[in-house]
A and B are shown apart, each in its own frame.
Chain A
């Protein structure tokens, strides 16, 4: 891909030209079948896909539905398929695409309307792994003489930091064929966040999470296709986290065997 070449060039807002975008439309009431709708719009080198969708919504066709919020790759709302690859609309620039651009709703999720998908199943899988700090000790009142609560050294932070960058956009679920083949698979982001909290020095919930991870639908459904890590907009490398989770699940099983 020549993404990098183009990105290093000066981005011009004068280079205005016309692009064609096809959007897969689905309107649940009428008609019932999804169909492709072409749009033609003016773009320059700074136009993101989200800008383009906003332009369509405001200027061309107010019936188009899609999700968005922050426009800066932190809210994780604007995920769509661009020519079959999951991308964030705000982080995808039309200057990087020659020829046809086909926009579809995220794969492997039920479509509610146009580019809006139902992500409930992802949220269920996420909730199942308890992606939050679990502490054995009850919350103590802050004692200024012993301010030890939740201390963490830079080295301890480093262990999980990369995996903490997940923004729950769901692109990795659309990239994962194992999730497409079996929707009960907990999937890349949920397993990554489970690993992220297991690695956190302040957490004591590993045992509870291992019961979820060490299932057939937990880490063991992953075959390290690795596409999740390719599409991740935050370079989290979920495939690495899931497979480190396999090592942890194997250790967990061995310990369980010896303890009986």
Chain B
């Protein structure tokens, strides 16, 4: 049998995802990495500043408080939470966990991951929140 005997259609046009709400949400999920990359570049700049000395570090903190940078990083925070909400529900479907022969309910796995988010936030509060 010839493997490619059947007819193939040309690829979808690049605006295919605008035609349905579900696909727009998919694209929004994929686009959460754009503000993530912005934040990561900010962080890298901060690391360079930290290496250069106290004055550079203060300069970086000032740069981070400029309205546009701050606004973009607030978008990055929202993006990370949206990403978390979409990513956590995928986990039990990709790796269904079984303990003692029973499969864990999906909600338990999702809740466990959100507990992880809260735990990391508490750790940061413990590190940086106290005077």
A–B contact, 8 Å CB criterion (strictly below) = yes
A interface residue numbers (CB < 8 A to B): 84-85, 108-110, 118, 120-121, 124, 128, 155, 177, 180-184, 223-227, 230, 237, 239-240, 243-244, 246-247
Bits for B2-14, please: 1 = Cβ < 8 Å to A, else 0. Answer: 0101111101100
Of the residues A109, A110, A181, A243, contact of B11 by C-beta under 8 Å: A181
A224 close to B8 (CB less than 8 A): no
Task: Give the distance in Å from the alpha carbon of A137 to the alpha carbon of B11 in the complex.
Answer: 43
B20 close to A84 (CB less than 8 A): yes
Task: Give the distance in Å from the alpha carbon of A227 to the alpha carbon of B26 in the complex.
Answer: 9
If A177-B16, A225-B23, A226-B26 touch, does A243 touch B93 (CB 8 Å cutoff)?
yes
Task: Give the distance in Å from the alpha carbon of A81 to the alpha carbon of B6 in the complex.
Answer: 22
A118 close to B7 (CB less than 8 A): yes
Residues of A within 8 A of B93 (CB): 237, 239-240, 243-244
A182 close to B6 (CB less than 8 A): no
Majority-rule SS of B interface residues: loop
Of the residues B6, B7, B12, B94, contact of A181 by C-beta under 8 Å: B12
A124 close to B6 (CB less than 8 A): yes
Give the top 3 A-B pairs by smallest Cβ distance, nearest first: A120-B6, A240-B93, A180-B12
- Count contacts between A and B, CB distance < 8 Å: 61
Of the residues B5, B7, B94, contact of A246 by C-beta under 8 Å: B94
Of the residues A118, A223, A230, A243, contact of B6 by C-beta under 8 Å: A118
Residues of B within 8 A of A244 (CB): 93-96
Chain B, Cβ-Cβ closest to A245: B94
Residues of B within 8 A of A239 (CB): 93
Of the residues B7, B23, B30, B94, contact of A121 by C-beta under 8 Å: B7
Residues of A within 8 A of B8 (CB): 121, 183-184
B9 close to A110 (CB less than 8 A): yes
Is B22 close to A, CB under 8 A? yes
Of the residues B9, B30, B95, contact of A183 by C-beta under 8 Å: B9
Task: Give the distance in Å from the alpha carbon of A110 to the alpha carbon of B7 in the complex.
Answer: 7
